[in-house]
Amino acid sequence: MEEKLVTLAILTFSKAQILKSVLENEGIEASIHNVNLIQPVISSGVRVRVKESDLPHALQIVESAAWLAADVLDEKAGGEEGNHPRRILVPVDFSAYSFKACDAAFHIAAHLQAEVVLLHVYFSPIYMPTLQYVTDGYHVPSFAGEQEGMRSLAAATHQRLGELTHQVDAKLLSGEYPQVKYTCLLREGIPEEEILRYAREERPLLVVMGTRGESQKDLDLIGSVTAEVIDRCPTFVYAIPENASAKVLETTHKVALITNFDQRDLVAFDSLIRTFDSYHFAVSLVHLNTRQNRRTWNEIKLAGIKEYFKKQYPTLDISYSLVDEDHLLNHLEEYVRDERIDVLCITNYKRNIFAQLFNPSIARRMVFHSNTPILVIK
């Protein structure tokens, strides 16, 4: 029986031809439908269709937006990423929750056959005594005093990083950590910016970070490094609250994926399964219900997504449920507890600055109000 075709995108005829060529270069069979045969160039819109089994990969290509580049036909999309070694980045600040992130990262790295990079970023203030209108009324140290302070800060940071290295070596020697290659990096700057710079340049498989969880004060949300990395990082982020259980991904039995019925969720889910294909866990699809009068319709949508995923990933154990958005955080915590969820998976799309200020993402809100590890999918 011939496989069902599904519509990937509705585009102008010229763009549809470009997309069709890109898909075929990636090994995906594509066809164009509803073409105006008399004047195809001025057709108002044509359908690019692909096989249902190819949909996740095709959506990933479309979402990347790289297929519109002028040189896309000469180079496969995403080819640059294959040049980077498999790494897991662990930003550390020598706190208890960053050590917990370090523990999880070594076990995950062993499973994914990756190496671990421990990154510490320290910030040293730069004084500008020539700007009198800024510094009037403030104590500005002399240049000699500033240099001495910088040397003292750098020496203390090197010492703490050396102590961390000794702890890691001891755990590797005792067998508490699996035998995984690791390196330490020390950078000066603003922590979140340096972490994001490394993630953009080196494209690690995963960024593993600690967070204080529900004990975090609301005021601390403003400057949280973890929240900034979650919003802007181009790769997966695994956030582990301070009070989370000691479970790591290989002992995870059930994950919950929060979906908003967006086609990008299909791409995110496929990326999740391909990245962690060596793990075995059940998946629960969760939709945050906003209006009671649409509850039945939302449940029908969830059932349809479940059936689609069952076709694409027949070995997965998949279920679904609705959680009322009223008192979002409390309801999710109840759901996590009742359903024995080990990890919350949340997609985090790029949003403009106004959306970030006035409507914080679910991932950003949950990272401070949950004792459950959160995997942010990009």
Task: List the single range of 21-35, 144-158, 190-204, 303-317 with lowest mean pLDDT.
Answer: 144-158
Q: What is the pLDDT of residue 83?
A: 61
The per-residue pLDDT for 43 is 46
What pLDDT score was predicted for residue 255? Answer: 92
Residue 60 near residue 77, CB atoms below 8 Å: no
What's the whole-number mean pLDDT along residues 129-150? 50
Report the pLDDT value the prediction gives residue 15, as an integer from 0 to 100: 75
Question: Whole-number mean pLDDT of the chain?
Answer: 76
pLDDT at 356 over 80: no
Beta bridge partners of 47: 10, 33
Single out the residue of 94, 118, 116, 92 nearest to residue 106, CA to CA: 116
Q: pTM of the predicted model, to two decimals?
A: 0.70
Q: Which residue has the higher pLDDT, 62 or 193?
A: 193
What's residue 329's pLDDT? 65
Specify the pLDDT at position 64: 62
Task: Find all residues with CB under 8 Å of 261, minimum gap 6, and list them.
Answer: 287, 298, 301, 305
Q: Please provide residue 90's backbone torsions phi and psi, each rounded to the nearest 5 degrees.
A: -125, 100
154-163 average pLDDT score: 84
Taking residues 111-115, what's their average pLDDT?
A: 92
pLDDT at 322 exceeding the cut of 60: yes
The C-alpha angle with vertex 150 and arms to 144 and 152, in degrees rounded to 5, equals 105
> What percent of the chain is modeled with pLDDT above 90?
18
Lowest mean pLDDT across 73-82, 181-190, 265-274, 299-308: 73-82
Mean per-residue pLDDT for 308-331? 79
Is the pLDDT confidence value at 91 over 90? yes
> What one-character DSSP code corresponds to residue 221?
G
- Burial label for 156, CB within 10 Å (0-12, 13-18, 19+), is exposed
pLDDT digits (tens, 9 = 90+) for 236-272: 999 888 777 756 777 788 999 888 777 778 888 888 8
194-220 mean pLDDT: 77
Instruction: Please report the pLDDT score of residue 70 as a whole number.
Output: 37
> Would you state the pLDDT for residue 125?
58
